[in-house]
Amino acid sequence: MAEIIEAHTETMIDNDNNKRRRLVEFKDGCRYGKFGKTKAYELIAHERIRAYKMGGKTMIDLDSVDEYHASLPRVEARAS
């Protein structure tokens, strides 16, 4: 599935710091992040992931999704 998402990735240059962004359409960003659209809008509203408008479409920054996943707390093993 990663190959499918990567095939639909738009690369955009950020004018502020010349960083390349991996942008995908909203539904593909949800699929990549393994969350639904309601959760995606919540994460965008709380600035946990970044989204941009491009030609009327909402595009999700996959790097921000990776950062979000990396920030999640680890589940500790319970004692038996």
Asked whether the whole model's pTM tops 0.85, one would answer no
Q: Which of residues 8 and 31 earns the better pLDDT score?
A: 31
Predicted pLDDT at 21: 85
Beta strands in the chain (DSSP E): 10-13, 20-25, 51-54, 57-61
Question: Span 34-43, mean pLDDT?
Answer: 98
Residue 48 is predicted with a pLDDT of 98
Q: For residue 17, is pLDDT > 90?
A: no
The single-letter DSSP state of residue 1 is -
pLDDT of 12 reads 57
Report which DSSP code applies to 14: -
Give the pLDDT of residue 25. 97
**Mean pLDDT, rounded, of the chain:** 87
Q: Where are the domains of the chain?
A: 2-58
61 alpha carbon, distance to own chain's centre? 5
